[in-house]
Amino acid sequence: MSRTILEILKSKGKFNEVAKIAFDCVDTDRSGLIDASELEKIMVQIAIDMGADPPTKEDVVEVMEHLDEDKSGKIDFNEFKILIRDVLEAMLEDKDDQN
């Protein structure tokens, strides 16, 4: 799995493909933007998948503020890619720590 994550992170095409699939899954209202409630849902799922505590409302607000570079109150695809890169890198670090 570590090799797959590394391949995704190293290939712009693969990374964009993975990010777009994830974005489309999170953008449940198909608006082309992710709002706070959609972000919270994915953060909860990521926490479950990683065996971590679920995020607090404050965590969601903090991540939203971090990702929402244009301060529109919503996350566009380019902003979302920051989250995907962070998650993949965390997964890679977690795998390295277990070895």
What are 34-87's pLDDT values in tens digits? 999 999 998 898 889 878 999 999 999 999 999 999 999 999 999 999 989 988
Q: What confidence tier does 16 reach under pLDDT thresholds 50, 70, 90?
A: very high
Secondary structure (3-state) at 29? coil
What's the distance, CA 66 to chain centroid? 12
Instruction: Report pLDDT for 42.
Output: 84
Fold of 2-98: Recoverin; domain 1 (1.10.238)
The region, left, alpha or beta by phi > 0 then psi within -120 to 50, assigned to residue 71 is left
* Total-model pTM: 0.80
CA 12, 59, 96, 2 torsion-angle sign: negative
What are 23-45's pLDDT values in tens digits? 999 999 999 999 999 999 988 98
